[in-house]
């Protein structure tokens, strides 16, 4: 009976709603899985389906079985939407008196975790951009090293560093290593600067920037290009990717990778999420909490392998 009812709904999708072949194939695949589950549970008529039955089906597709792989939140959501459509159709057609699927919500899509580099890779990248003694570095290498040290050392957005002016960094010192950044909406925040980033910036400002500025027109920007003008975002991206290539890091490394790494490494080492929120310039702590998912996953993995009562 329920098999015929599912087939009737699929006919409706094809004939009356005119779904494309790919969409029809997806609906058929999802509803066949629901049909298998229902028959196995001895639920042979749409009239016998309860909300609990549909909830159990959602749990089953998320957990998987020996015969069926578990579905991701996105795939499970698509399947539940197909099931909800089927039961809504049954109710509209008067075949059932209620729609048992109305209160069963599709699972929310999982948040994509930000990519963060291991600290060992960060070290390789920063070494790659400034190998050799200070006297061996070209003016562009000094600039690049200062840029990338600040990028990781402060968690700044690349636009925030590109927009830095000489006045912004004029008060930076060992005694007061605090940098004022202007973020989204021109909102200002204060961020500490570590000794490595501070040293790289000082070397650049004293030995390299004056050389680059000679060719320019007096821009107040801290980071200059070879012609003495303000460094562009595209050039900053290229500097980072070139350093990553020299360090032998696979894949694309973006300025946001450095920002994500900054936040993740702080949390891994015990920083409070609200402190990290302030450092990143997030308006809401909810935005920052996605980084905690990374460290929670690592804690779970360590617990599962190290705790004697965690293993079967």
Active site residues: 157, 184, 256, 259, 282, 291
Residue 144's nearest CA partner among 156, 119, 161, 163 is 161
Residues 6+ apart with CB under 8 A from 43: 2, 49, 53
Q: How far apart are the first and last CA of the chain?
A: 42
Residues 6+ apart with CB under 8 A from 112: none
Element (H, E) at 99: none
Residues 6+ apart with CB under 8 A from 72: 110
Q: What whole-number distance in Å separates Cα of residue 101 and Cα of residue 51?
A: 6
Q: What whole-number distance in Å separates Cα of residue 242 and Cα of residue 212?
A: 20
Give the helix ranges, DSSP H, for the chain: 2-15, 21-40, 51-63, 73-92, 119-129, 139-154, 158-162, 166-169, 195-203, 209-213, 233-246, 255-268, 273-280, 285-288, 290-306
Residue 229 Cα distances to 15, 105, 202, 213, angstroms: 63, 54, 19, 8
Q: Is 16 exposed, middle or buried (0-12, 13-18, 19+ CB in 10 A)?
A: exposed
Residues 6+ apart with CB under 8 A from 91: 97, 98, 99
């Amino acid at each position: 009976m329920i098999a015929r009812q599912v087939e009737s709904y699929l006919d409706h999708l094809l004939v009356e709603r005119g779904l494309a072949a790919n969409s029809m194939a997806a609906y058929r695949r999802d509803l066949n899985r629901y049909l298998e589950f229902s028959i196995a549970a001895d639920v042979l008529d749409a009239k016998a389906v309860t909300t609990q039955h549909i909830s159990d089906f959602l749990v089953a597709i998320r957990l998987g079985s020996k015969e069926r792989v578990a579905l991701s939140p996105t795939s499970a959501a698509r399947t539940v939407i197909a099931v909800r459509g089927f039961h809504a159709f049954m109710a509209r057609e008067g075949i059932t008196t209620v729609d048992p699927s109305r209160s069963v919500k599709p699972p929310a899509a999982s948040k994509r975790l930000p990519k963060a580099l291991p600290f060992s890779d960060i070290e390789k990248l920063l070494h790659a951009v400034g190998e050799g003694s200070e006297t061996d570095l070209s003016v562009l290498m000094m600039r690049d090293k200062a840029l990338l040290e600040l990028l990781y050392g402060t968690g700044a957005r690349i636009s925030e560093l590109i927009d830095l002016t000489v006045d912004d960094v004029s008060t930076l010192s060992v005694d007061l290593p605090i940098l004022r950044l202007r973020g989204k909406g021109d909102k200002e925040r204060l961020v500490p600067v570590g000794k490595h980033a501070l040293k790289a910036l000082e070397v650049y400002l004293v030995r390299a920037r004056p050389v680059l500025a000679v060719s320019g027109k007096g821009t107040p920007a801290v980071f200059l290009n070879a012609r003495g003008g303000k460094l562009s975002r595209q050039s900053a991206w290229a500097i980072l990717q070139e350093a990553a290539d020299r360090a032998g890091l696979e894949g694309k490394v973006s300025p946001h990778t450095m920002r994500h790494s900054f936040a993740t490494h702080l949390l891994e080492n015990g920083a409070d999420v609200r402190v990290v929120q302030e450092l990143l310039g997030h308006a809401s702590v909810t935005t920052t909490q996605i980084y905690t998912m990374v460290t929670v996953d690592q804690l779970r993995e360590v617990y599962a392998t190290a705790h004697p009562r965690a293993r079967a």
